[in-house]
A and B are shown apart, each in its own frame.
Chain A
């Protein structure tokens, strides 16, 4: 490990040499390498998270490039997962990055999350989020969920059996209809997700039992408390 690379964060008391070793020993699954996944992955790779598994079944299109800064014009038509793995591996050669060109669903979620300390949902649809939530619950792997719509974003950190899971929060919620996305907003929400992820890898959930809301129009953060649903089909018995 090149310690000089991490000198500025090693000086942070919450990280230090011990925290840096924890990050280097961590494996994180990131589902979605788009507007949220890109900046988030850069932040995790830069911080020295030892192994990143990037799952995305999509290919790069021109309408992605307003916010998906892992890619450029030369990547158009190519699989995002492979491009992300290549770019991040070049960005930090200390770490291992695996790209999986696949759509996460109920059939492959358990296999994709296996051996990871934490998973991140940075994907663009509710069904994949819920499939990842179920896979993480079965293996008791903490999950950081983030999403955006236009100027707004939200982040939730799930510790199964302790805090509400995505099914507690989003069951019965209408599927998203907008598809509005601005790079300035996805980048801000991705940074919040990365801060939560890194802190959880270091042993602290900074938003337990809260939905963190970002309003990119008013430039405000808000926290909304949420409780577990006793009848939750995913975490109700944990």
Chain B
């Protein structure tokens, strides 16, 4: 199972800082987050800056970025404001 770490408001919505989830890619993880923690958590997770094994998913295969059983996946708030 992949280790999923939540940062920012997503940690509040999920009620945890990290948890283990099954999923072969980012999209599958997002499905599980929505199922476990609700629509708002799912929506926010999808809009997060997602890092899989130290690489930004956006620069890899997006939501199709593979996730392995030993992967670490970080969900970071997109901080674009100044």
Q: How many of chain A's residues touch chain B, expressed as a range?
A: 35 or more
- In the complex, which range does the number of interface residues on chain B fall in? 20 to 34
* Cβ-Cβ contact count across A and B, 8 Å cutoff: 104
Contact of A222 among B7, B57, B79 (CB under 8 A): B7
Q: Which one of A148, A167, A222 lies within 8 Å of B81 (CB-CB)?
A: A148
What is the distance, in angstroms, from A64's C-beta to the closest C-beta of chain B? 11
A181 to B50 CA separation, bound complex (whole angstroms)? 22
Contacts of B54 in A (CB 8 A): 225-227
Contact of A231 with B by CB under 8 A: yes
Compute how far the CA of A126 lies from the CA of B49 in the bound complex, rounded to whole angstroms: 13
Minimum CB–CB distance for B67 against chain A, Å: 16
A-facing mask of B43-62, CB < 8 A → 1, else 0? 00001010100111111101
Report A108 CB to chain B, min CB distance, Å: 18
A154 lies within 8 A of B79 (CB): yes
The one of B49, B55, B81 that contacts A179, using a Cβ cutoff of 8 Å: B81
B7:A170 contact, CB within 8 angstroms:
no
Q: A229 and B55 in contact (CB under 8 A), knowing A151-B8, A169-B49?
A: yes
B68: interface (CB < 8 Å): no
Name the distance in Å between A55's Cβ and chain B's nearest Cβ: 12
Contact mask for chain A residues 132-166; partner B; CB cutoff 8 A; 1 contact, 0 none: 00000000000000111111111000000000100
- Of chain A, the residue at the smallest CB distance from B7 is A213
Q: List 8 A-B contacts (CB under 8 A).
A: A148-B82, A150-B77, A151-B8, A173-B56, A179-B81, A189-B79, A224-B74, A229-B59
- B residues contacting A by CB (< 8 A) are 7-9, 47, 49, 51, 54-60, 62, 74, 76-82
